[in-house]
């Protein structure tokens, strides 16, 4: 049997007999010629059934025209999976890839119902209800190819630095920060929590002497937000490393990772992203701009917007405004907001020695939205316990975590970053629902 050829490889293939497989995207059933647009995981191609030439009949002057070979094409429904064997022909006049396949045989692998529940103008909820059909769109296929390339580039940076990949558990006996955003689940005779972050476990790797580590895995937040950038289950990119001097070391690693990821995406998918999303991938220059949070709020205020609470984090409009400022002044899509107040940071962030009211931490803003939080961690057990108490936490409930620091831990730090937010902002999409394989939110657990 002729080996199957991916559609993207047809242009480089010699004319002759080929076999292609995919789903029917469109049928044009004309009187004497039939066209089928077939799409597979790599692209689309035009199939042609032009019929055969008959010997002219003097009594019927139109007897020499092309006539269809089969009625099978007429019966094909959108979404039907088929395998076609036919003659590949290069033809510059064919707009779809410059090639077409003259059909010889058609094998209907699996027929589709005639009424497709997803239309071009279907809203996001309908498309999520029928996500497997929505994912057939070329844009969606590209999203997850971009995701694969981006993560592979990050992984190469970590591996070159001799970092270790870990997989941390998602069932926890106690909360890592606050129980307010945790899902509580039954666990045999007791209770467990779904991890909102691998924070404690990636710090455990520092106590274990692993040095640099990374993880790409699920995280859970019991957050009732219905915004375009929140989900109850998301993919978190996490890294942690030992022997740092300050959070500046973490920011430098973060820069290296983002430049590597965006460079790889631009090189491999830049043209396709421009074509399907109308977005030009920008590879940022290093170093990224750095602005202390208090200064950033003043800049935003001067632009006509005041963050409602002076003692709070930057809000979404503030993030948009500071990004606009950085874009105008530095021509940069990224900005580190630094020097966050201890009052709005977790207990395990290290305090600034020169100003204990501030932490050695940062948020990374990308195209107007926060994508990551990073920091140097506090590794001294007495200081860590005091900071936990200051946050109203009971050190005894943090026993397993605090034990890490009773047996020696090097200075360390790291960050957590939401993969779906990065993809949303990279591709200029309006919601993480568009770039999440199967979205989970307060009202969505299916499919």
Binding site, by residue number, is: 177, 221, 370, 373, 377, 418-421
Could you tell me the two tokens for 175? 């909360």
User: Residue 290 in contact with residue 341, Cβ under 8 Å?
Assistant: no
Binding site for ATP, by residue number, is: 370, 418-421
- On the CB side of 194, CA atoms within 13 Å amount to 16
Query: In angstroms, rounded to a whole number, what is the distance separating the alpha carbons of residues 22 and 208?
Result: 49
Residue holding tokens 């831990």? 409
CA 2 vs CA 15, 23, 107, 142, 185: distances in Å: 14, 19, 14, 28, 53
- On the CB side of 440, CA atoms within 13 Å amount to 11
Query: In angstroms, rounded to a whole number, what is the distance separating the alpha carbons of residues 261 and 257?
Result: 6
H-helix or E-strand spanning residue 151: helix 138-160
Query: In angstroms, rounded to a whole number, what is the distance separating the alpha carbons of residues 205 and 209?
Result: 6
User: Residue 220 in contact with residue 233, Cβ under 8 Å?
Assistant: yes
> Cβ atoms within 10 A of the Cβ of 267, count?
12
CA 107 vs CA 21, 24, 46: distances in Å: 9, 12, 16
Could you tell me the two tokens for 271? 């043209």
Binding site for L-aspartate, by residue number, is: 177, 221, 373, 377
Could you tell me the two tokens for 191? 């209770």
Query: In angstroms, rounded to a whole number, what is the distance separating the alpha carbons of residues 206 and 409?
Result: 6
User: Residue 228 in contact with residue 430, Cβ under 8 Å?
Assistant: yes
């Amino acid at each position: 049997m002729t080996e199957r050829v991916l559609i993207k490889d047809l242009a480089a293939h010699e004319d002759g007999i080929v076999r292609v497989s995919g789903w029917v995207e469109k049928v044009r059933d004309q009187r004497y010629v039939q066209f089928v647009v077939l799409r597979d995981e790599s692209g689309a191609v035009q199939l042609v059934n032009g019929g055969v030439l008959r010997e002219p009949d003097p009594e019927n002057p139109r007897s020499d025209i092309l006539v269809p070979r089969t009625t099978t094409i007429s019966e094909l429904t959108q979404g039907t999976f088929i395998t076609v064997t036919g003659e590949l022909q290069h033809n510059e006049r064919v707009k779809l890839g410059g090639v077409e396949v003259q059909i010889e045989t058609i094998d209907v692998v699996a027929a589709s119902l005639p009424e497709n529940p997803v239309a071009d103008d279907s809203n996001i909820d309908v498309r999520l209800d029928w996500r497997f059909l929505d994912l057939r769109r070329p844009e969606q296929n590209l999203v997850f190819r971009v995701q694969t390339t981006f993560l592979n580039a990050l992984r190469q940076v970590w591996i070159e630095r001799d970092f270790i990949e870990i997989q941390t558990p998602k069932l926890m006996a106690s909360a890592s920060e606050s129980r307010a955003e945790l899902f509580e689940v039954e666990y045999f005779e007791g209770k467990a929590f779904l991890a909102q972050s691998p924070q404690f476990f990636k710090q455990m790797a520092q106590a274990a002497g692993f040095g640099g580590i990374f993880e790409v895995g699920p995280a859970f937040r019991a957050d009732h937000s219905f915004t375009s950038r929140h989900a109850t289950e998301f993919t978190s990119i996490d890294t942690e490393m030992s022997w740092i001097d300050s959070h500046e070391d973490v920011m430098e690693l973060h820069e290296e990772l983002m430049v590597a990821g965006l460079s790889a995406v631009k090189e491999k998918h830049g043209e396709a992203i421009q074509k399907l999303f109308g977005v030009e991938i920008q590879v940022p220059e290093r170093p990224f701009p750095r602005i202390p949070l208090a200064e950033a709020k003043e800049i935003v205020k001067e632009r006509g917007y005041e963050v409602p609470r002076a003692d709070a984090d930057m809000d979404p409009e503030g993030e948009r405004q500071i990004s606009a400022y950085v874009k105008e002044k530095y021509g940069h899509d990224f900005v580190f907001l630094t020097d966050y107040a201890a009052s709005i940071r977790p207990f395990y962030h290290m305090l600034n020695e020169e100003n204990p009211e501030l932490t050695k931490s940062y948020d990374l803003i990308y195209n107007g939205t926060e994508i990551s939080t990073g920091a140097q961690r506090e590794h001294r057990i007495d200081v860590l316990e005091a900071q936990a108490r200051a946050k109203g936490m009971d050190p005894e409930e943090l026993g397993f975590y605090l034990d890490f620091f009773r047996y020696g831990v090097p200075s360390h730090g790291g960050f957590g970053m939401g993969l779906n937010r990065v993809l949303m902002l990279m591709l200029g999409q309006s919601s993480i629902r568009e770039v999440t394989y199967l979205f989970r939110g307060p009202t969505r657990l299916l499919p």
